[in-house]
Amino acid sequence: MAAIYDAIIMAKTTIHREGYPAILVSGLFLILLNTALFLFSGHSEWKWIILAGSIFTLLWICLFFRNPERKIIPAKDIIYAPADGTIVAIEKTVEAEYFGKEMLQISIFMSAFDIHVNRYPIDGIVKFSNYSPGRHFMAFNPKSSGNNERHSVAILHSSGQEIMVRQIAGAIARRIVNYAHKNSRVSQGNELGFIKFGSRVDLFLPTDCLVEVELNRKVYGNKTVIARFIHS
């Protein structure tokens, strides 16, 4: 469905730069594999099945790393979705890594078919950027937020309020790419990073934010309004 959505409403879709190495390595391997099969397998019907599977696999890898152009309407009080996916949690919880107090957590699960580009939900200044190695629970598991491999970025809004975006690797994903640098100024909608294969993004917001999504809703980065600041 995400691919259909992109095809309908996006004017331009490219391959994300993080995908080029994976596509190149996979493409070369599949070319060598199929060349060897066609040269040495004789009249075996399996070579045609493997060729079809190879084409499908390469197309799927390209699809995974798609990066649609997402024009954003900047708004000071709006907190946009930082990723494509499905809302799997909306709850108050104590965020211990940076805030050390109760925050509103909104979690987005990204399946292997969602776009995996992560984006800044607000304008602001990066006050905290920290990578933590960890385990690899399934990304929809509540334990994944604090125990999995993750990268947390806290952003100070012009209103004086802070939020956190936490990229979380899932059971399959093994690499989080993050472009945030402490004390740098970031713009709403720009790229924050990328997570390879199924994963999750958690938002930690002030508890008085006005939430505009509900559980199990499909959301889109730079398009869906997740919440609004009450005092902006």
- Please indicate whether residue 44 is annotated as part of the active site: no
The mean pLDDT value for 175-187 works out to 93
Q: Are residues 123 and 42 in the same domain?
A: no
User: Is 208 inside a domain boundary?
Assistant: yes
What pLDDT is recorded for position 145?
Answer: 58
When divided into structural domains, the chain yields a total of: 2
Give per-residue pLDDT as tens, 122-169: 999 999 999 988 666 555 555 555 567 899 999 999 999 999 999 998
- Angstrom distance (rounded) from CA 88 to CA 98: 22
Per-chain mean pLDDT for the chain: 87
Catalytic entry in 107, 132, 199, 232: 199
pLDDT at 116 over 70: yes
Q: Extract the tokens encoding 222.
A: 């730079």
Show the beta-strand stretches assigned E in 81-222: 85-95, 101-110, 117-119, 124-132, 150-156, 162-169, 176-178, 185-186, 191-195, 199-205, 210-211, 218-219
Q: Are residues 83 and 191 in the same domain?
A: yes
Q: Are residues 171 and 59 in the same domain?
A: no
Q: Are residues 26 and 123 in the same domain?
A: no
What phi and psi, each to the nearest 5 degrees, are found at residue 91?
-160, 160
Q: What is the pTM of this model?
A: 0.84
DSSP 18: G
Q: Are residues 55 and 152 in the same domain?
A: no
Q: Are residues 101 and 215 in the same domain?
A: yes
- 16-25, 35-44, 162-171, 202-211: which range is least confident on average? 35-44
